Amino acid sequence: MSTRREILALASGAAVTAAALPAPAYAGGRDDGWTATWAAAPTTVPPGPPAELTAQTVRQVVHTSLGGDRIRIRLTNEFGVTPLRIGEVHVAIRAGSGASTDARPGTDRRVTFGGRDSVTVPAGSPLVSDPVRLTVPPGADLVISIYLPERTAVTTLAAFAFQENVIAAGNVTAAAHVTPTSTITQYPFLSGVSVSSGAGAVVTLGDSITNGANTETNANHRWPDLLAARFRAAGIRRGVANVGVSGNRLLHDPNPAPGSPAETFAAYFAHSALRRFDRDVVAQPGASYLVVLLGVNDLGHPGTVAPLTEIVSADDLIWGHRQLITRARQAGLRAYGATILPFKGDTLGFYTPENERKRSALNRWIRTSGEYDGVIDFDAAVRDAADPERLAAAYDSGDHLHPNDAGMAAMAAAVPLRLFR
């Protein structure tokens, strides 16, 4: 599944419709049956003065995996050190595609929090909205508009969205079209959307490859998006919550050397998977399945963007994966291990013969130990048949570590759907 036509077929969703309901749209009622349809793992920001927004609206585009007739939105101030003042929030189904942030007429809904339009999110906390009546088809796009009335430091965000979002002057949360003052490829203060569906969610825990690095912006060609499209085509009702973070490690938090260039970006790599597991995985509404693709940054960061004292062994990585398995099962999730992709000749300086031996040992354990509930062999799906330590040229984005859009499609196609039926 490697042609552009096949990628676009996977990425396409159902026709967009919406129930014609008045706003405000607090739905009330029971609170069970919620499933994550979209997620972004929040991180903090590098040292130095953060970006600030004042009397501005941030309009963000998210791509749903699962549909429903009510939605909930999760805001985040989890890395903020002061309360976050939210003036107003609206959600609508997006009109158009690509970089469009227009709202489809008749679908705009005001979002409330405990019945309030304007709220304060405590420092270090998320905030979950009231249910909003809006019929959202699977594979649709939403535009979520957040108005920030006061001077606001952007200290909590998902730094690598691979989607163009916009900032506009004033409170234009209810506008069908906004005139941007700037465009960003981040998700500030937004970490999740859930739908009332009663279906289980698949949580994909990983690094930049899961996050979607080097894929086409605004195209939703991350492998979890394409897996969600396969679910829809096969009639499997599952939400997909992508909590991959570029640069993320299994065992260590970001730790750039003082004065190194990495100090300007390493904070975006997020806490280690072990540290963020409860917040980013267990807390996902309807979480039922876990897919883990982690380890390449644990191998490659020491000596590049982390100290050599953080070199890990294959046994260290296996120990970390075992912790994820144990904690997933305690939370009632089935845990699936994904093999680490090859990266010989990468431009980031990750590859060494020793790191290849560790990768091979970890992959062998994932495939043969039986400790995970199932195996997804991404390595076999994208490696070069003539040189298995390398990405196949057709799937290489150019840095010999991250797959391109065709590689993401090959990864999605390699996931056995029987694991989620």
DSSP state of 302: B
Which pLDDT does position 393 carry in this prediction? 98
DSSP state of 396: B
Give residue limits of the domains in the chain.
18-31+42-193, 199-420
Which pLDDT does position 3 carry in this prediction? 41
384-416 per-residue burial string, b: 16 or more CB within 10 A, e: under 16: beeeeebbbeebbbebbbbbbbbbbbbbbbbbe
DSSP characters over 73-103: EEEEETT-SS-EEE-EEEEEEBPSSTT--PB
Residue 194's φ and ψ, nearest 5 degrees, are -125, 160
Comparing C-alpha atoms, which of 146, 142, 168, 164 is closest to residue 156? 146
SS3 155: coil
Q: What is the mean pLDDT of residues 236-255?
A: 98
pLDDT per residue over 184-213, tens digit each? 999 999 999 999 998 999 999 999 999 999
State yes or no: pLDDT of 6 exceeds 80.
no
Which pLDDT does position 287 carry in this prediction? 98
- Count the residues in the chain: 421
Percent with pLDDT over 70 in the chain = 93
Which pLDDT does position 32 carry in this prediction? 72
Which pLDDT does position 23 carry in this prediction? 35
State yes or no: pLDDT of 7 exceeds 60.
no
Tell whether the torsion through CA atoms of 56, 213, 2 and 336 is positive or negative: negative
C-alpha separations of 310 from 236, 270, 313 in Å:
41, 16, 10
Q: Which residues are within 8 A (CB) of 216 and not within 5 positions of it... i.e. 6 or more apart?
A: 162, 405
Distance CA(250)–CA(181), nearest Å, equals: 38
Q: In the structure encoding, which two tokens stand for residue 115, read together?
A: 């019945």
- Secondary structure, 3-state, 161-212: CCCCEEEEECCCCCCCCCCEEEEECCEECEEEEEEECCCCEEEEEECHHHHC
pLDDT per residue over 29-64, tens digit each? 334 799 999 999 999 999 999 999 999 999 999 999
CB 131 within 8 A of CB 26: yes
Distance CA(96)–CA(48), nearest Å, equals: 37
The enclosing H or E element of 10 equals helix 4-11
Which pLDDT does position 198 carry in this prediction? 86
Q: What is the mean pLDDT of residues 366-393?
A: 98
SS3 391: strand
pTM of the model: 0.93
Q: What is the mean pLDDT of residues 88-115?
A: 97
- The reply to whether omega before 353 is within 30° of 0 (cis) is no
CA atoms within 13 A on the CB side of 78: 22
What mean pLDDT value characterizes the chain? Answer: 93
DSSP state of 264: G
Pick 199-420's CATH classification: 3.40.630.10, 3.90.1150.10, 3.40.50.1110, 3.40.1390.10. Answer: 3.40.50.1110
Distance CA(81)–CA(98), nearest Å, equals: 35
Q: What is the mean pLDDT of residues 171-178?
A: 98
Distance CA(47)–CA(81), nearest Å, equals: 14
pLDDT per residue over 334-373, tens digit each? 999 999 999 999 999 999 999 999 999 999 999 999 999 9
Which pLDDT does position 110 carry in this prediction? 98
